[in-house]
Chain A
Amino acid sequence: MNDREIVLSGKELHKSFGPKENRRHILKGVSFELYSGEILGIVGESGSGKSTLLKLICGIEKPDSGELIHRGKEYTGIGPEKTGKFLQMIFQDAYGSFDPRMSMEKSLKEGVGVSEEEMVKVIEEVGLTKDLLSRRPRHLSGGQCQRMSVARALLGQADILMCDEVTSALDVTSQAQVVKMIEDVRNKEDVSILFVSHDLALVSNLCDRVMVIKEGEVVDYGETKTVINNPTSEYTKKLLDSVIDI
């Protein structure tokens, strides 16, 4: 991995919320690197701070301290209007990620300078047909909607995709399809992917490297195989035990 370029990195990120007397420290010094073309899994239970980490990365929240770097350039403290140029997000709530009153076509065209051909090409790439473009989000299935949001992210010309629990609201069948599509996208396009999930089984299939977060701290970080076969923390072991398998 060392010969590859680091696309995105975070250094010692801290974040806390709440009033002074009752301040909750959500992130306690998280550092990570995302190499170009890789899928990095971020695993943790709800409340572990993984969603906050994504919010910091895309600039919705500002870190209390620490640095965020994109291709060698620091961008800490820059809002989502600017970070959107190099990173796009795919959300857990597929339906909620589209304006309920807009057709898919209108939502997809929201980004600047999207041409008709480009849109159709991307739609086919995520395994959908262009006749779905005239529909509103609630007339699509959860899986279709999630593919649409991947399509929108790809149209944004970003080189980083951030997936926030994108499969946890889907049934296993659509989940498998969406995961496969994400793999395809990674192989075809020049993107790096941050894949946040609570499902270690899913992550073990998809991700090159994985980072396990517990209560705002990194407890395991490395090649997926290494982490899964030789977890260093008790917490990762517990997560591995709870994997539901056939």
Chain B
Amino acid sequence: MSKRKKRQKIKIIIATIFALIVVVVGALANFIAPHDPNATNAMLMRKAPSAEYLFGTDNMGRCVLSRVLDGARITLASTFLLVAISFLVGIIIGMLCGYYGGIVDTILMRIADLMLAFPQMVVAIAVAGILGGGIFGAMIALGITMWTGFARLARSHTLSIKNEPYITAAKLNGKNGMQIIFGHIFPNIVENVLVNALTQIGTTMIGLAGLSFLGLGVTAPQAEWGSMISEGRAYLQLAPWVVIFPAIAIIITIIIFNYLGDVVMEYRRMD
């Protein structure tokens, strides 16, 4: 292995460690949080950060640190769930289209084209608006365009390997289409599509936070970074910490996951 590759591997390991820290913090949010994220206290409205309340309190006297942690839980969980479902739907549709081709392929790919024609956020706002808010509505709104990217990628990889001799050999060994798709094509393309999924995590987080900011995501009193910023915006000058800490959380998390996606992508390109 060359030095460049080794160096890249170290970068991947570091990025993975940071990403894991974020994931663990999110998963254990309920245990780490010093206070109940939803407990209000009229005595402690908009208190500046202190030893007791590290990130201060918001307009209703709720602990901002606990809410940021709780927000991490919901943001990460919904992001991973959304990316995973879009990934599965996309890769399966992509492989079927690529392998069988024909009229179904044409129709599905035209639908995908249609989805790509609009900016993702515009479609998401429209759909979330129709579905009337809620975290599941927001996830559907983002997922409706996200699968198309995975489907296109999976389809083009399928097209490039479906004429390889080993696919023909498998056919001659009596394997049918489904056996070939899941036995040979899937294992050979899944890595490429997974890396793409990794790079989508950051974008999806921004999307979810954005929808929540607009009031189309989580419903109160559930904490979520986007909705926290939106609420805190009203009294930004009185208590800036209510906005600053969730904003920092969003930025750091997105940078970590985007960086992880980038270094993995770069590493694969070195082969």
Contacts and interface: CB of A to CB of B under 8 A. Distances in A.
Direct contact of A and B (CB under 8 A): yes
A215 to B, nearest CB: 23
Nearest to B169: A97
A58 B170 CA distance: 13
Interface stretch (B17-25, B77-85, B130-138, B171-179): B171-179
Interface stretch (A16-24, A84-92, A195-203, A205-213): A84-92
B174 A85 contact: yes
Contacts of A152: 169, 173
B173 A100 contact: no
B184 interface: yes
A98 B173 CA distance: 12
A79 interface: yes
Contact of A97 (B166, B175, B176): B166
Interface string A75-102: 0000111011101110111001111110
Interface of B: 164-166, 168-176, 184, 187-188
Q: Which of A85, A93, A110 has the most CB of B within 10 A?
A: A110
A93 B169 contact: no
B165 A96 contact: yes
Contact of A110 (B164, B173, B187): B173
Q: Which of B168, B172, B173, B176 has the most CB of A within 10 A?
A: B172
A93 B188 CA distance: 18
Contacts of A100: 188
Contact of A99 (B166, B171, B172, B176): B166
Contacts of B171: 60, 79-81, 84
25 contacts: A60-B171, A80-B168, A80-B172, A81-B174, A83-B172, A85-B174, A89-B168, A91-B168, A91-B169, A92-B165, A93-B165, A96-B166, A97-B164, A97-B166, A98-B166, A99-B166, A99-B170, A100-B188, A101-B188, A110-B175, A111-B174, A112-B173, A152-B173, A156-B172, A156-B173
A167 interface: no
